[in-house]
């Protein structure tokens, strides 16, 4: 199983889309192992987006993520990063395909509703920024055998 960090950005909460977006991940089969509502501090935003420091959009990105509360989640699934990024769609809502989160709910190229880790290394770093180890709960779901075929051993 792989874990990824998902952030439902300020526009998701302000537009009342959080529940619908979370439902998409649950219906797909992702397991929520951590979730909270929080206000991202400037210091945390600067750590999270440090790789973008010096780029023209950096200050607006930090201002955006700190402008209003967000929902941060750690989701777990087989290929969680790849699958969640496909579900999110292209970065800019105006270019995202229908059927994706951004394609169905977004038009803006600045306000793009959701963040998801883009690699296992990024996921590990980002999860550590937003969650303490004891805030992540692993648990067995009764539905797990209906999400994955485990007849050959490993989930697929």
DSSP three-state, residue 51:
helix
CATH (domain of 99): 3.30.70.141
If DSSP codes are grouped into helix, strand and coil, which group holds residue 132?
A: coil
Report the domain count for the chain.
Answer: 1
In a domain, 154, yes or no: no
Task: Assess if residue 104 is contained within a domain.
Answer: yes
Give domain status of residue 107, yes or no: yes
Write down the pLDDT at residue 21: 98
Q: Where are the beta strands (DSSP E) in 1-154?
A: 2-8, 31-38, 70-77, 114-116
Q: What are the catalytic residues?
A: 115
pLDDT single digits (tens) 145-155: 788 887 777 77
For 34, the 3-state DSSP assignment is strand
Range of the domain at 84: 2-39+70-139
Rounded CA-CA distance 156/149 in Å is 5
Phi, psi of 53, rounded to the nearest 5 degrees: -55, 135
Give the list of residues 6+ apart from residue 97 with CB closer than 8 angstroms, or none: 89, 90, 103
Q: What percent of the chain clears pLDDT 70, i.e. is strictly above it? A: 100
Q: Would you state the pLDDT for residue 152?
A: 79
Question: Does residue 131 lie within any of the structural domains?
Answer: yes
pLDDT in the model for residue 23: 98
Is the residue at 97 inside a domain? yes
Residue 46 in domain:
no
Domain assignment present for 59:
no
Whether residue 64 is contained in a domain is answered as: no
pLDDT digits (tens, 9 = 90+) for 92-120: 999 999 999 999 999 888 899 999 999 99
């Amino acid at each position: 199983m792989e874990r990824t960090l998902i952030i439902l950005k300020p526009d998701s909460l302000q537009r009342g889309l959080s529940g619908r977006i979370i439902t998409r991940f649950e219906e797909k089969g992702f397991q929520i192992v951590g979730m909270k509502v929080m206000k991202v501090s400037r210091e945390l935003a600067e750590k999270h987006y440090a790789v973008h420091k010096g780029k023209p959009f950096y200050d607006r990105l930090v201002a955006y993520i700190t402008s209003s509360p967000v929902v941060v989640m750690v989701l777990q699934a087989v290929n969680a990063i790849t699958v969640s990024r496909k579900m999110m769609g292209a970065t800019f809502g105006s270019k995202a395909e229908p059927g994706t989160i951004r394609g169905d709910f977004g038009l803006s190229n600045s306000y793009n509703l959701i963040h998801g880790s883009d690699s296992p290394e990024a996921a590990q770093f980002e999860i550590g920024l937003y969650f303490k180890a004891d805030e992540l709960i692993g648990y067995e779901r009764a539905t797990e055998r209906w999400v994955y075929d485990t007849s050959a051993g490993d989930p697929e």
